[in-house]
Structure 1
Amino acid sequence: TLSSARVMACSRTCSQILGLTLGTTALFAAGANMALLFPNWDVTYLLRGLVGRHAMLGSGFWGGGLMVLTAAILISLMGWRYGCFSKSRPCRSMLTSLLSSGLALFGALICFITSGVALKDGPFCMFDVSSFNQTQAWKYGYPFKDLHNRNYLHDHLLWNSVCLEPSKAVVWHVSFFSVLLCLSFLQILLVVVHFINSFLGLFCSLCEE
């Protein structure tokens, strides 16, 4: 019917937009994770192994980045009817939609969880460990991880007083992991929209047949 054809055309347009948007968020996620490997754009911390484990895990690269980008390409191909999707049957399109949605959802969830844990634990930096005889000692670690009585995210006085190196370590950590957290959350929402859009497309395709 005419209404089914319109819904199908709208569904394909939605897939085109979703694929492009997901692909863009994936590239930004990879860029944010890249920045976390180079605090203050200094490569020496990475070379010396002084980058936190959350950044080294690279969830913004392979999770919110590569996995979501792969799903975005599949979604775009279905929307534009390119290649093997030019004359794809409804059930085949739905199967591809489920696979792409699952791939993107898994990658985005990994990135979201990792970013949340990273914000909770705080940055990896050099801080002062004062002993009882008041002698100063410095070491690298997570000074905010066991700071149960004060939340460093809300207490900005701690941002420049605890981490001695890299400079502005807290700002760098919070800024880019917050970006990753927001991007991965947006990706999850887009995947849900794509899933609903795919079901509508399948229903209208079956009705048309």
Structure 2
Amino acid sequence: MLSSPCVMTCSRTCSCILGLGLGTAALFAAGINIVLLFPNWDRTYLLRGLIGKHAMLGSGLWGGGLMVLTSATLISMMGWRHCCFSENTPCQSMLTAMLSSGLALLGALICFITSGTALRDGPFCMFYVSSFNQTRAWKYGYPFKDLNSRNYLYDHLLWNSICLDPPKAVVWHVSFFSILLCISLLQLLMVVIHFINSFLSLFCSFCEKY
């Protein structure tokens, strides 16, 4: 059976690894959200205000990015026992772990929900609409949402036939929001592991004390 000091060392090592993993994932989430602001690497869409609301919300920047990165920094510091965490009691450490987990959980969850909603609604792009006198005009909006094309993700024939501008808007939208969704899901998984690791660390601290 492993001794409590050995378990504590493993717990701290796990915190360091999780902190590094969460921090890396947060940087990737922020980077992906920035890419979504420049469809086809063209900044004119952002300057003209032709970016979808899901990308402009920036949940990958401040949610899955900044909030998770802040939490990752706290988790890493707890693992290395730097600064004010070096003299913390087990209960104080557990409280810090819960706060950092809660912050990361909230940020990752916001990013996950936003990404899922973006994939459901489809991209913001230019598409043709028919008026009452049978003339055709174009406008910017969410054609897959407005036209009730709920299965656009599975019908690739719609991708290039409906969205006219930006070019390959659906591919850009689906690809990067799918990546953002996966990143936020990975962050949620690491937060759960961190919480379990912190609970085991607290339990072993009490075992070592008594």
TM-score, with structure 1 as normaliser: 0.96
Aligned residue pair count: 209
Match for residue 106 of structure 2?
106
Cα distance change on mapping 1:150 and 1:71 into 2, 3 Å:
closer
Counterpart check, 1:127 vs 2:127? yes
Q: Does the 8 Å CA contact 2:15/2:79 hold for their aligned counterparts?
A: yes
Corresponding residue of 2:178: 178
Alpha-carbon RMSD across the aligned residues, in angstroms, is 1.3
Q: Deviations over 1:173-206 (max 9, x none)?
A: 0011101110111111100000000000011111
CA contact (8 A) 2:120 2:150 kept: no
Amino acid in structure 2 at the alignment position of 1:42: D
Secondary structure of the 1:46 match is: helix
What's the counterpart of residue 187 of structure 1? 187
Per the alignment, do residues 169 and 149 of structure 1 end up closer, same or farther by CA in structure 2, a change over 3 Å counting? Answer: closer
**Paired-residue identity, %:** 78
Q: 1:149 offset after TM fit, Å?
A: 5.3
**What does 1:1-209 correspond to in 2, within 5 Å?**
3-131=3-131, 133-148=133-148, 150-209=150-209
Equivalent AA in structure 2 for residue 179 of structure 1: I
Q: Which runs of 5+ in 2 are unaligned?
A: none
Structure 2 residue identity aligned to 1:54: H
TM-score by length of 2: 0.96
The alpha carbon displacement at 1:86 in A equals: 1.9
Amino acid at match of 1:48: R
**Which AA in structure 1 matches 2:181?**
L
For the residue of structure 1 that corresponds to 2:73, the secondary structure is helix
- C-alpha deviations, 1:36-65, integer Å up to 9, x for none? 111011111111110000000000001000
In the alignment, structure 1 segments of 5+ residues that lack a partner are none
**Partner-residue secondary structure (3-state), 1:188:** helix
CA offsets 1:100-145 (integer angstroms, 9 cap, x no match): 0000000001000000000000000000112354432110000000
